Structure 1
Amino acid sequence: MVTVQVLDRDGNIKRRAPSWFGRLFRVPGRPMLYHHHNIVTREGDALIADALLVTPTKTKVSSSAGFIQVGTGWTGNSVKTNVRCNTPTGAMKALDSGYPALKAAWGNTGDTTLVYRASFAAGSLNVNGINEACLLNGNAGGSNCLAYAQITPVVNVTVSDTLQVQWEITILGQ
């Protein structure tokens, strides 16, 4: 799962503008908090296999080499083979401090889920129509894409907003 939230300058989750019906009855707009399914890409499958080798050859998506990229070019075509966002916007963001992390302690439900999170601070994005994201093992041209996701509905971020993208990958052993 990928969770995307837009935070205002005070760190609160922003709300979409209410519909005309909502304005009429003074109902606030929906929170800008979205949950999306993602896919481990073909490169991601290979990264996981490589990580299980005695001597891995690829860089892991780690606290020092993990990045999240967002974009506006979701097409729905060849999602499994995507290696980047189709139309990237802004700079890639390094993972937040403390990530990746297990969702739960060893031996508990959630101990097979890795959590990655990056925060695009206020001022780093000013874009409408963010509809895709990818999780990478670096920010160079040769970096590999572990996972890719569609973001729907699209997310609009102003210069005063913070965009936070949290990625969860559950290892199912299938």
Structure 2
Amino acid sequence: MKDRILIKGMVTVQVLDKDGNVKRRSPTWFGRLFRIPGRPMRYHHHNIVTREGDALIADALLVSPNKAKVTSSTGFIQVGTGWTGNSTKTNTRCNTATGSMKALDSGYPALKAAWGSVGDTTLIYRATFAAGTLNVNGINEACLLNGNAGSSNCLAYAQITPVVNVTSSDTLQIQWEITILGQ
């Protein structure tokens, strides 16, 4: 009997206005003509668990791990504007980082569902870049790290498309889901 472990991820990126509502893109000319609002600025993307991420998962299964796990005190998310599509499996950071790395929100990582329920094999990581921390156009990449030092390791990396523009009055929230399945 063979068993394969499959690790897949999903990244949700959303831009919130000053009142905490999901912002909308400007409507198309057709939308303006018929008063149809623009699409919400909430995007879902697949990600790749990096080579370092594969090693971090294996290391976490040791009795005494050698590397820091991605926890509420060590986890960080970085965003950037330099997606290239080249060697994403070997990325160790965003290609062109912008702003400062953001620590995970309080209470994260967390299981998506209670133990024994559907969703108990999915870990959720979330970071919120509060208004005033970013003012950048063209965010098109993100990575999940086990620290904010130069020696930190990249668990996962994702392309963000379409690109996300954030003003100084917007809040950017990134939620990372990593699901581990035996097959």
Of residues 131, 134, 142 in structure 2, which corresponds to 1:125? Answer: 134
For residues 163 and 99 of structure 2, the distance between their equivalents in structure 1, rounded to whole angstroms, comes to 16
In the other structure, the counterpart of 2:3 is none
> Separation in 1 of the partners of 2:42 and 2:75?
23
Matched, 1:61 2:70: yes
Alpha-carbon distance in structure 2 between the residues aligned to 1:82 and 1:49: 18
Structure 2: runs of 5 or more not aligned: 1-9
Q: How high is the sequence identity, in percent, across the aligned residues?
A: 87
Partner deviation per Cα, 1:23-43 (whole Å, 9 max, x = no partner): 111110000000000010000
Secondary structure of the structure 2 residue equivalent to 1:172 = strand
Identify the residue that residue 16 of structure 2 maps to in structure 1. Answer: 7
Aligned length: 174
Q: Find the counterpart in structure 2 of residue 134 from structure 1.
A: 143
Choose the corresponding residue for 1:165, options 144, 158, 174.
Answer: 174
Residue 144 of structure 1 corresponds to 153
- Within 2, Cα distance between the matches of 1:83 and 1:19? 38
Q: Which amino acid in 2 is paired with 1:46?
A: A
Please give the per-residue CA displacement for 1:123-155, whole angstroms capped at 9, x wherever unaligned: 000000000000000000000000000000000
For each residue in 1:89-145, what CA deviation from the matched residue of structure 2 results, as whole angstroms up to 9, or x when unmatched? Answer: 000000000000000000111000000000000000000000000000000000000
**SS of residue matched to 1:170:** strand
Secondary structure of the structure 1 residue equivalent to 2:24:
coil
Alignment of 1:50 with 2:59, yes or no, is yes
Instruction: Determine the structure 2 residue equivalent to 1:21.
Output: 30
Distance 1:145 1:171 in 2: 17
Amino acid at match of 1:106: W
Aligned ranges for residues 101-120 of structure 1 at < 5 Å? 101-120=110-129
How far the C-alpha of 1:172 sits from its partner, in A, is: 1.7
**Aligned-partner SS, 1:171:** strand
Q: Does 1:74 align with 2:66?
A: no
Q: 1:84 aligns to what? A: 93
C-alpha separation in 2, matches of 1:125 and 1:23:
29
**Amino acid across the alignment from 2:66:** T
* TM-score when normalising by structure 2: 0.94
**Tell me, which stretches of 5 or more residues in structure 1 are unaligned?**
none
Note the C-alpha offset of 1:173. 3.2
Q: Moved runs in structure 1, 4+ residues, more than 6 A?
A: none
Aligned Cα root-mean-square deviation (Å): 0.6
Output the TM-score relative to the length of structure 1. Answer: 0.99
Which residue pairs with 1:40 in the alignment?
49
